[in-house]
Structure 1
Amino acid sequence: MANGACDDGLPAAGPLHVAMLATPGMGHLIPLAELARRLASRYGATATLLTFASTASTTQRAFLASLPPGITSLRLPPVDLSDLPRSATIETRMRPPASWPSSPTSSARTDAARAAGVGRTYLFNPTNLHMLSLLLRLPELDATVPGEFRDLAEPVRLPGCVPIPGSDILSPLQDKGDPCYRWMLHHAARCREADAILVNSFDAVEPEAAAVLHRQQEPGRPPVYNVGPLILTETETKSSLRAACLEWLDRQPPRSVVFVSFGSGGALRTEQMRQLALGLELSGQRFLWVVRSPSDEGAVSDNYYDAESKEDPLVFLPEGFVERTKDVGFLVSSWAPQIEVLAHEATGGFLTHCGWNSTLESLVHGVPMVAWPLYAEQHQNAVMLAEGIGAAIRVPEPKRKETIAGAVKELMAGEQKGAAVRATVAELQKAALEGVGEGGAATTALAEVVDKWAT
C-alpha cells in the first residue's frame, strides 16, 4: 500500500507546479511519477518529487534520473533504521522515514503544507478503491469490530466492495496491539480532510465501489477521482541477461508462457520456493521465472528496498530442477524487464503477488493472473481479482506443488474457469486503454482536477 500527496503550489496566473511526496519504495514512486508525466504532457505542468534518502536504492536513483525535464526530485534527509529488527514489517519500516504509516494520508504532511501557505492538499492513492474504502471506514470498523480481523467468522463488508475475509484484510491491521495499527487508524480518520483523493484505478475493475465513491457524495468525504491506470511507460533494457529473457520469449509460441514474479519486494520461504518450482514443473507449462533468494528469517517483504538477491538464488531450487526444465523454462536472477515481458506476445499468464502496480500492468497488457499474495494490501487485491471481477485464479491453501500446478494449468489452458478469466481480462484491457485515451474516463477525471487547481 502506498500514497502520495499532491499540492498545487502556484497561483492560477502562473504555470502549474505540483509538489509530490511519495511513500518510500519504487512501487509507490512509479505511479506518482507517471501522474507527473501525464500532467506535464497534457497540461505543461512541472513537478517536484520528494523522496526519502534513507530508502533510495540504485534502481530508484536511476529511475529519477530518467525523468523528463520539468520533473525534478529532492531527497529528504536520511533516517537511521538500524535499530529495527530484521523481522520488522515493511509498514513499520515506512513509518520512521515518512513520520507516518503506510496510508493514503499524512496529517503531519498536510499540516506542514498548510503552514507553508499551500491552500489545497490532494491525496494520491496508488492502490485501488477497495483500499480507499477500507481506510475511509477504518475508524468505524475499529469501534464496531471486536477482537482481531483475522478471527472474524464473517467477511468484512464495505459499500460497493467484494466481501473481504478478515484474514485477508490489510496486513498491518491484523494486530491491534501493534503501534502501526494505531498510526494507521489516526491518519485514516484524517484522510477526509483532503480537498480531493486521486486513485490509481479505473471503474471497470471495481465497478460497484466506483459507483459508491464517485456517484454517491457522502457528507464529510472528499470527492474521489479514478485517474488510472498509471503504470510505467518508459523502460530501458540494458544488460545482456535481461535481453536474453526477451530473446527466449521470441522463440516461444504466442500466449504460451506464464511469467512468475513477486514484485520488487516479495520474498518466499525456502519451502514455498521449492513447492513453486515443483508446481511449475508439474504443470507442464512454459515459464519465465524471476528467482530471488528465499527469506526464512525476515519478513515476506524482505526485498522491498533492495530487489537484488544477496546470494545466487538458483542454489535454493530443487536438485535437478534446472536441468529437467531447461526446454520449457527460463530463469532470471532477481530482476526482469516486467513491462516488456508482459507486453510480449508469448506471455499468456502472470503468477503474481497482486501488488497493485503489477496488477495494473498485467491488465493493461491483457495478461490474466494467478494470485499468490504476500503482504500489505495484496491479499485484499487477490480477493477482489479472483472472487470479485474474475481476472485471476488464486492458488488455494495449502500451497503445495499440486495446487500450484492446477492453478497455473487452468489459467493457461483451462476451458472453463481459465477461459472465463482470460475473456474477462481481455475486456478489462480494452476498458483500461479507452479510459486513458482522449475523452476517456481517466483523462476526463484528471481534467476535472486540473480545472479545480486553476480556480
Structure 2
Amino acid sequence: MAKTIHIAVVSSPGFSHLVPIIEFSKRLLKLHPNFHVTCIIPSLGSPPESSKAYLKTLPSNIHSIFLPPISKEQFPQELYVGLLIQLTVTLSLPSIHEALKSLSSKVRLTALVADAFAFQVLEFAKEFHALSYFYCPGSAMVLSLLLHLPKLDEEVSGEYKDLAEPIKLPGCVPLSGVDLPAPIQNRSSEAYKSFLERAKAMVIADGIIINTFLEMESGAIRALEEWGNRKIKLYPVGPITQKGSGNEADECLRWLDKQPNSSVLYVSFGSGGTLSQHQINELAWGLELSGQRFLWVLRAPNSSANAAYLEAAKEDPLEFLPRGFLVRTKEKGMVVASWAPQVEVLGHSSVGGFLSHCGWNSTLESVQEGVPLITWPLFAEQRMNAVMLADGLKVALRPTFNDDGIVEKEEIAKVINSLMEAEIGQGIRERMRTLRDSAANALKDGSSKQTLSHLTSQWENLSEN
C-alpha cells in the first residue's frame, strides 16, 4: 500500500479564493489517492454559508480547518478588498502557525501550499521541514506582472496609468498602464506596497503552482521559466475549475433546453461583481436593442464594482431593472437573481456567448466549454485578462466604455450582434473551440498532467527520505 503523503494548503478569505486551491487539491487527489490534504482557512467574520456547503462535498482525504474569524469592525469601511484579504491573513498568522504545529506533531508534512494572498505563511515551511509553494489561481500574465513589479517600480516614475508607452512583459501581449490592477495604480498606497512585498516573497518559495496551461499562455510561461536565471520553478497545472453542481433541475437550465443551439448570450459578472444603477439600465436596454436571446445573472446595483465580493446584498435585484423590461423581453430572455449554475450553463448547447467580468475562474470555465467571450472587466486583474483574451488569444470582443466609464446601450447591442451573428464572431468561435480542445488535452495526457506528475514525484521522493 502506498505511503500517505501529507500536504497543507492555506486559502485566503472569500469563496472565490477558497475554490481554486481546493479544486487543485481535488485534482491532486484524483491522480494520487494516497495524498492527504489539510486546508487551513482564515475568515473575515463568520465563514460564508457557500464555503461551508462547498466543503461538505469534499472527499474524506481533504480535511478543512476554519480559523477563528477576524472581526470586520477593526478595518476602515473604504479599505480596498485585496488589502482587506491580505490583512485578514496577516492577523490570522498565529492561528495558522498553531494549526500547522498541531498537524506536524501528528504527521510528517511534505509540502505547504499557500494562496498568493497568504504568502507570509510560507515562512513557516522551514520550521516544519516542508517544501513551500505559492498557488497562483490567476494567469501567467498576472504572475509575470507581479514578479516584474519590483523592477518596474525602480524604472518607472509617476503612475503607471499615465505612461505614454505600453508595458511589455516578456512573452505577453503589450499592456496599457490603465489596464493594470487598481491597487497598482496608486503607488503610495498600502495595497501597492503589499503587492511589492508579495513579489519579493515569491522568489524564496520552492516553486509556483499556477492555474493555466502551456497552450494558452506559452509565451508568458516560457519567459517565466527563464526569469531571473531560472530562479523559480513554475508548475502550470490548469485549467482547474469547479465541476458542476449536478443541479439539472434549475429553472434557467430548463429555459435553456427550449432555446436553439448557440443562440443564447449568458451574462454574468462572477461571484462578487456589481454594476451601478445607470449601467444596469444601459445593459438592459442594450440586450433588448440587440434582439438576441440572453440569460442574465443580475445583482442589486452598487457604486463599488466589487461590493458583493465578501458580502451579498439583501435586496431583490430584479426590482432595479428598467420599467417594463421583463415584459418586453420575456420571449427572448431570462433574468435570474444573484446566482446561476454557471458550469452547467456554459456547457449547455444553446449557449453561444458569454458576457463576462473576466475573472480567471470564469475565463477558464468558458475556455473549457469553448464559449466565446465579450469582456467586461470590473476589478482586480480582470482588465489584464480582458486584454489577453481579446488582443492576445483573439477569443473575445471588448466593448468601448465612454468617458464616464459606462458602456452605452448602442455599443452593447453592437458588440453582442458582432459576437453572435457577424463574421468576426465566427472567427472568435473557431479559435475558442481550438483552445477548448487544447485545454482538454493538457489535462488528459498533455502538458498539465505531466507537470503535476513531476511535482508529485518530487513530494513522494522527499517523504521517503
Q: Same fold by TM-score, threshold 0.5 exceeded?
A: yes
Q: Is the 8 A contact 2:38 2:64 kept in 1?
A: yes
Within-5 A mapping of 1:121-140: 121-140=132-151
Q: Is the 8 A contact 2:21 2:115 kept in 1?
A: no
Report Cα offsets for 1:152-210 as digits up to 9, x if no partner. Answer: 11111110011111011022111112111111101211101111111100122222112
Of 64, 78, 91, the match for 2:55: 64
- For 1:261 and 1:59, how far apart are their aligned partners in 2? 18
Q: Is 2:122 aligned against 1:110?
A: yes
Q: Is 2:147 aligned against 1:141?
A: no
Structure 2 match to 1:10 = none
Within-5 A mapping of 1:44-443: 44=33, 45-54=35-44, 56-99=47-90, 104=116, 106-115=118-127, 117-214=128-225, 216=226, 218-219=228-229, 221-237=231-247, 243-296=250-303, 299-307=304-312, 309-398=313-402, 399-415=407-423, 417-437=424-444, 439-443=445-449
Q: Is 2:458 aligned against 1:452?
A: yes
Structure 1 match to 2:96 = none
- For 2:23 and 2:86, how far apart are their aligned partners in 1? 24
The residue type equivalent to 1:377 in the other structure is: E
Q: Is the 8 A contact 1:105 1:190 kept in 2?
A: no
Deviates more, 1:180-189 or 1:374-383: 180-189
Return the offset for 1:360.
Answer: 0.2
2:10 is paired with a residue of what secondary structure?
strand
Q: Is 2:14 aligned against 1:25?
A: yes
Return the offset for 1:225.
Answer: 1.3
Return the offset for 1:86.
Answer: 3.8
Q: Is the 8 A contact 1:138 1:188 kept in 2?
A: yes
Return the offset for 1:212.
Answer: 1.6
Q: Is the 8 A contact 1:372 1:395 kept in 2?
A: yes
- For 2:83 and 2:117, how far apart are their aligned partners in 1? 16
Report Cα offsets for 1:246-280 as digits up to 9, x if no partner. Answer: 00000000000000000000011111111111111
1:46 is paired with a residue of what secondary structure?
strand
Return the offset for 1:14.
Answer: 3.7
Return the offset for 1:47.
Answer: 0.6
1:203 is paired with a residue of what secondary structure?
coil
Return the offset for 1:75.
Answer: 0.8
Structure 2 match to 1:5 = none
- For 2:154 and 2:381, how far apart are their aligned partners in 1? 21
- For 1:351 and 1:235, how far apart are their aligned partners in 2? 21
Report Cα offsets for 1:200-236 as digits up to 9, x if no partner. Answer: 001222221122224x363262111110000012424
The residue type equivalent to 1:380 in the other structure is: M
Q: Is the 8 A contact 2:372 2:432 kept in 1?
A: yes
Deviates more, 1:151-160 or 1:372-381: 151-160
Report Cα offsets for 1:41-89 as digits up to 9, x if no partner. Answer: 1111111111123252111110011111111100112111224344332
- For 2:180 and 2:295, how far apart are their aligned partners in 1? 30
Q: Is the 8 A contact 2:85 2:117 kept in 1?
A: no
Structure 1 match to 2:98 = none
1:67 is paired with a residue of what secondary structure?
coil
Deviates more, 1:175-184 or 1:13-22: 13-22
1:72 is paired with a residue of what secondary structure?
strand
Q: Is the 8 A contact 1:103 1:187 kept in 2?
A: no
Identity %: 40
Return the offset for 1:113.
Answer: 2.8
- For 1:330 and 1:454, how far apart are their aligned partners in 2? 50
* Inter-CA distance 146–360: structure 2 relative to 1 (3 Å threshold): same
Deviates more, 1:245-254 or 1:216-225: 216-225
Return the offset for 1:103.
Answer: 7.7
1:193 is paired with a residue of what secondary structure?
coil
The residue type equivalent to 2:32 in the other structure is: Y
- For 1:422 and 1:100, how far apart are their aligned partners in 2? 46
- For 1:335 and 1:154, how far apart are their aligned partners in 2? 40
* Inter-CA distance 336–342: structure 2 relative to 1 (3 Å threshold): same
Structure 2 match to 1:6 = none
Q: Is the 8 A contact 2:8 2:37 kept in 1?
A: yes
Return the offset for 1:105.
Answer: 6.1
2:44 is paired with a residue of what secondary structure?
helix
Return the offset for 1:423.
Answer: 0.9
Deviates more, 1:366-375 or 1:310-319: 310-319
The residue type equivalent to 2:199 in the other structure is: A
2:187 is paired with a residue of what secondary structure?
coil
Q: Is the 8 A contact 2:115 2:134 kept in 1?
A: no
Q: Is the 8 A contact 2:377 2:383 kept in 1?
A: yes
